[in-house]
């Protein structure tokens, strides 16, 4: 069994690759999502690799974005699949995802802070996974994936010596069109058309990542190199996270101190500082920062949860419970807040209210398995696909999605073109 570690920058095409390989290999493809599966071992390499091997999988792939740049560089894998994307377009796409999922509401102050952190991660990721030679690694670009998916995956098969007898260009194209969202031919994104585009801020971001990006063939956008930005916020946020990656928390704290004195500092700078202060044992200062974040962003759950965890560690269960109740009552999205609480707090006495808000899937796991087997004639690619299909509106919507899929259309066409079976004569 080929063991692949898929380390990719977010929004660089990982889930498309997962979908395509799952379509090509079917039940012989095993996959570890790492982040979102509740029963995941959270280990690198995955503890279930031997189990997949015994079950007859030909390819196993484990996903990671290496958000903290702390993943082991050698986890015993046969190959490293590294997926990258042009930094400015990727950062914009990832910022939009952040706003839809875990972040506060958009503001220029928050975007400057976020892009500074993202620049440190982008540069660090490239230096760790792309700039250092490793005979097992294979770097693929998002732009190539969407421009010519067949060639993209043929190169992947050839590089890791996957069995070419399962490679089917029609399946690749069908899976690609299903996964790419808008199903339109690839065209480089015009970042200036985004509601969130600010040339000075993205220019600051680009300058911070330009040297690293050039090492994987991405040159700076000329229109973003015309002058310095209007704020030091991006650079100071970059410096703080870079020092964290380097294991220099005191230097990170110093950068955050300077950042928080800027007129356009965002409250989430205090959220990051609170985590560093905890590491230094300065719990009172950390709690004061978290209180300040709650006051500034009362509808966002993160600071409530971090502060509740601190109170729980200090034995103040009543205070922690009151804080979590306040979090749910104030949250813009109570369901998302409940998910964060359940991920971070383990005491059932503190999570009862959050548990009551946990949505029950309208489609069961068995429903998804049965639908794939009866409609597509195969097993789902893995737990990520199963959980994604459990989140649809109901069994009727699940059936509609599968019946309208390119995969089912291809199966139906082949069925119509096949000669009718000969009738037996007695």
pLDDT value at 365 more than 50: yes
Give the global pTM: 0.85
Tell me, what's the pLDDT at 27? 77
| Predicted pLDDT of residue 363 | 85
DSSP string over 99-161: HHTTS----HHHHHHHHHHHHHHHHHHHHHHTSS--TTEEEEEHHHHHH-HHHHHHHHHHHTT
Owner of token pair 């109740």: 325
> Average pLDDT of 186-196?
81
pLDDT of residue 181: 43
User: Sorting pLDDT into bands at 50, 70 and 90, what band is 401?
Assistant: confident
Question: Under a CB-based contact definition with an 8 Å cutoff, are residues 350 and 333 in contact?
Answer: no
Edge to edge, what strands does the sheet with 79-84 contain? 29-32, 59-64, 2-8, 79-84, 137-141
Calpha distance 331→102 (Å, rounded): 12
**pLDDT tens per residue, range 130-157:** 998 889 999 999 999 888 999 999 999 9
* Rounded percentage of the chain residues whose pLDDT exceeds 70: 92
Please name the residue that has the structure tokens 């503890």: 47
Residue 9: what pLDDT?
97
User: What is the enclosing helix (H) or strand (E) of 81?
Assistant: strand 79-84
The architecture of the domain spanning 2-86+118-179 is 3-Layer(aba) Sandwich (3.40)
State the DSSP code for 58: S
Q: What is the pLDDT of residues 78-94, one digit of tens each?
A: 999 999 999 999 999 99
Q: How confident is the model at residue 35 (pLDDT cuts 50, 70, 90)?
A: low
Mean pLDDT score of the chain: 89
Report residue 123 as tokens. Answer: 């540069």
Whether the CA torsion 291, 293, 297, 302 is positive or negative: it is negative
Whether the pLDDT of residue 420 is over 70: the answer is no
Domain positions in the chain are: 2-86+118-179, 365-408
Task: Report whether pLDDT(232) > 90.
Answer: yes
């Amino acid at each position: 069994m080929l063991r692949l570690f898929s380390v990719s920058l977010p929004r660089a095409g990982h889930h498309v690759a997962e979908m395509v390989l799952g379509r090509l290999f079917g039940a012989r493809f095993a996959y570890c999502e790492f982040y979102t599966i509740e029963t995941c071992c959270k280990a690198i390499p995955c503890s279930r690799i031997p189990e997949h091997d015994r079950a007859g999988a030909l390819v196993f792939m484990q996903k990671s974005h290496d958000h903290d740049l702390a993943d082991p560089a050698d986890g015993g894998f046969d190959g490293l699949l590294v997926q990258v994307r042009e930094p400015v377009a990727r950062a914009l796409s990832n910022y939009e995802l952040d706003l839809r999922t875990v972040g506060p509401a958009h503001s220029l102050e928050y975007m400057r802070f976020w892009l500074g952190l993202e620049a440190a991660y982008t540069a660090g990721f490239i230096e760790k996974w792309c700039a250092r030679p490793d005979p097992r690694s294979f770097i693929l670009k998002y732009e190539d994936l969407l421009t010519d998916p067949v060639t993209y995956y043929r190169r992947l098969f050839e590089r890791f010596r996957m069995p070419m007898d399962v490679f089917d260009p029609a399946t690749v194209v069908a899976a690609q069109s299903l996964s790419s969202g808008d199903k339109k031919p690839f065209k480089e994104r015009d970042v200036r058309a985004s509601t969130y585009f600010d040339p000075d801020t993205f220019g600051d971001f680009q300058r911070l990542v330009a040297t690293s990006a050039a090492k994987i063939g991405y040159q700076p956008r000329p229109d973003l190199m015309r002058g310095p930005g209007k704020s030091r916020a991006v650079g100071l946020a970059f410096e703080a996270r870079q020092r964290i990656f380097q294991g220099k928390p005191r230097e990170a704290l110093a950068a955050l101190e300077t950042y928080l004195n800027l007129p356009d500092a965002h409250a989430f700078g205090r959220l990051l500082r609170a985590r560093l202060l905890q590491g230094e044992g300065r719990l009172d200062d950390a709690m004061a920062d978290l209180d300040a974040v709650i006051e500034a962003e009362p509808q966002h759950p993160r600071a409530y949860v971090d502060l509740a965890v601190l109170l729980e560690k200090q034995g103040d269960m009543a205070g922690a419970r009151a804080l979590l109740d306040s979090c749910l009552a104030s949250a813009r999205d109570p369901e998302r807040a409940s998910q964060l609480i359940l991920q971070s707090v383990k005491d059932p006495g503190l999570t009862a209210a959050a548990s009551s808000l946990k949505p029950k899937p309208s489609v069961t796991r068995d429903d998804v398995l049965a639908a794939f087997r009866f409609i597509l004639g195969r097993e789902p690619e893995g737990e990520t696909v199963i959980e994604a299909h459990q989140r649809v509106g109901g069994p009727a919507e699940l059936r509609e999605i599968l019946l309208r899929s390119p995969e089912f259309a291809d199966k139906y066409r082949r069925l119509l073109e096949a000669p009718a079976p000969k009738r037996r004569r007695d």
